[in-house]
Structure 1
């Protein structure tokens, strides 16, 4: 969050904020998220590249600007060909898209049922009973997913009626209230977390299935994030607001646009990191795994599917 200079010093990193310097042991860094005005030297970038450390940059209000990642990554030509084949084969692409939407729906429903005592029973029952994912091409499935999410957001609005801050409806670019500001920022952090894990895998983040592949975004990053949004974003921010951990004075306004202020971003990022230290028992791994590793395992599961294994997103564990 601070402004300053990032330099290479004796094989590791040194950050100087204009008043004091501190060493950042490079062996303990998986990625860097830079929110302040930070000057990075060429030697520093070379070191980051050698160590495989990804850097994500954000603008003043926490908007994602871009990423620096090592030129050499663990991508595989064979895997890229497999990804492309599954994308070009309509039936294979549709099957993956269908699984992503169905799993995302089940995660939404689970979150809503956890808070069922705060919702009107009839509306929750309608959400559960009326959802029917119809057959169709990936673009048609994408439209169904968008309609599903709008119905889900209406129930989220009911849920946030019980908290100090209101949701009302989903607004982006810009977010028009505090809950939307928090949701947009949390989504941004989740996207970059998924991207960091993809960059260390053999998958090409630019070849997605539900989100169409194009030149403007990493579509696989968006696909995988859909699976984790209900619990790691929506459920997380609901608890923060319900418990008054995040409050009105953590935000600032720019006209009709609402954003986390510098203090709010710093507070949120600390809580976000703490969330990913939590663990859950994974039946397939026969051990407790941190939340972040669940993303890595999901990527591995998709890789296995491209080699012929069944695709069962978010299987083998249950959120606590």
Structure 2
């Protein structure tokens, strides 16, 4: 089993990264600097524009440490990838299945089954734990629609029909997501998903969380020898990590949405941690990003029992396990891809 190592988050926009022996040297301005050992890192995510030295990028590529560049507000800019593990036979099989409507449809169905099942479970948990504080009828109605979509998915015979059922389930789920927000309702509310840019505090948190999860899913795909850019649900597009986006669909609600709701309901983040730009974009400020990232890293270290493997793993290992299961299916070791169905 892969060891869950640390991801180094660099939040200072003027930080420049370079290689210094066996350490990452972080230079902030003219005076402040810090060094982090290479040996326990599995990824580096840097926010800002100062950049990194060619020597560091080369070292990250050699050690298969994913180096991702984001803007100061979390927009993806670029990614440096190292050597892929696995063999060419696995990747050729991935490409062939991706080009086959029916074969890719079978994998995409299971991924969306995982997505809708887990989102439905999130709703069930809030009814169980907070029945006196939420609109139980509205949530149960949404869950009923999602259950219908789970059944209808089985009859889909092309991707267009499949995405139609997924869209219907998403509308039902997001239609009651605001019910899960129990604290700070005056500044944290959800009236629908918006992005590019996010226009309220909740959407800002969701977008930021999805960006981090997509990074982990891309690293997971590459770690088992899969091509993160060739998917089965999301269409190929230059620069789009389609397989990573496929993989994260079943993990969005349980890894990001629940996490965001916890940050709000426990008042870990408040309105003081956001800024509003002239174009109405709402974004986390520097302190907000720091708190989000520290709490996210702690959450990833919490242990769970994987529902398929029946083994204890960290939450942060879930994308890697799912990538392994997908690779095993493509190699013919499993009869079908087993989605992550949380209970």
- TM-score range normalised by the length of the shorter chain: over 0.9
The RMSD of aligned alpha carbons is 1.9
Give, in angstroms, the shift of residue 267 of structure 1.
1.0
CA distance in 1, matches of 2:275, 2:181: 20
Q: What is aligned with 1:247?
A: 270
Give, in angstroms, the shift of residue 38 of structure 1.
3.2
Residues 287, 158 of structure 1: CA spacing in aligned structure 2 closer, same or farther, 3 A cutoff? closer
CA distance in 1, matches of 2:282, 2:26: 31
Would you say the 8 A contact 1:6–1:44 is kept in 2? yes
CA distance in 2, matches of 1:30, 1:39: 19
CA distance in 2, matches of 1:11, 1:26: 6
Structure 1 position 265 matched with structure 2 position 289: yes
Q: What is aligned with 1:160?
A: 181
**What are the Cα deviations for residues 222-280 of structure 1, in whole angstroms up to 9, with x where unaligned?**
11111110011111101110111111010000132111111111111111111101111
Question: Once superposed, which parts of structure 1, at least 4 consecutive aligned residues long, lie more than 6 Å away?
Answer: none
Would you say the 8 A contact 2:49–2:71 is kept in 1? no
Structure 1 position 205 matched with structure 2 position 220: no
Would you say the 8 A contact 2:25–2:35 is kept in 1? yes
Give, in angstroms, the shift of residue 284 of structure 1.
5.7
Structure 2 unmatched ranges of 5 or more: 1-10
CA distance in 2, matches of 1:139, 1:80: 25
The total of aligned residue pairs comes to 316
CA distance in 2, matches of 1:260, 1:4: 18
Structure 1 position 217 matched with structure 2 position 240: yes
Q: What is aligned with 1:186?
A: 209
2:95 pairs with one of 84, 89, 111: 84
Give, in angstroms, the shift of residue 304 of structure 1.
1.3
Residues 283, 233 of structure 1: CA spacing in aligned structure 2 closer, same or farther, 3 A cutoff? closer
What SS is found at the alignment partner of 2:197? coil
Give, in angstroms, the shift of residue 213 of structure 1.
2.1
1:297 pairs with one of 302, 305, 321: 321
Give, in angstroms, the shift of residue 47 of structure 1.
1.7
Would you say the 8 A contact 2:307–2:340 is kept in 1? no
Q: What is aligned with 1:314?
A: 340
Structure 1 position 171 matched with structure 2 position 186: no
Structure 1 position 125 matched with structure 2 position 133: no
Would you say the 8 A contact 1:250–1:263 is kept in 2? yes
CA distance in 2, matches of 1:22, 1:215: 36
Give, in angstroms, the shift of residue 207 of structure 1.
1.5
The range that moved more, 247-256 or 19-28, is: 19-28
1:147 pairs with one of 151, 168, 186: 168
Structure 1 unmatched ranges of 5 or more: none
Q: What is aligned with 1:21?
A: 33
What SS is found at the alignment partner of 1:299? helix
What SS is found at the alignment partner of 2:226? coil
The range that moved more, 183-192 or 3-12, is: 3-12
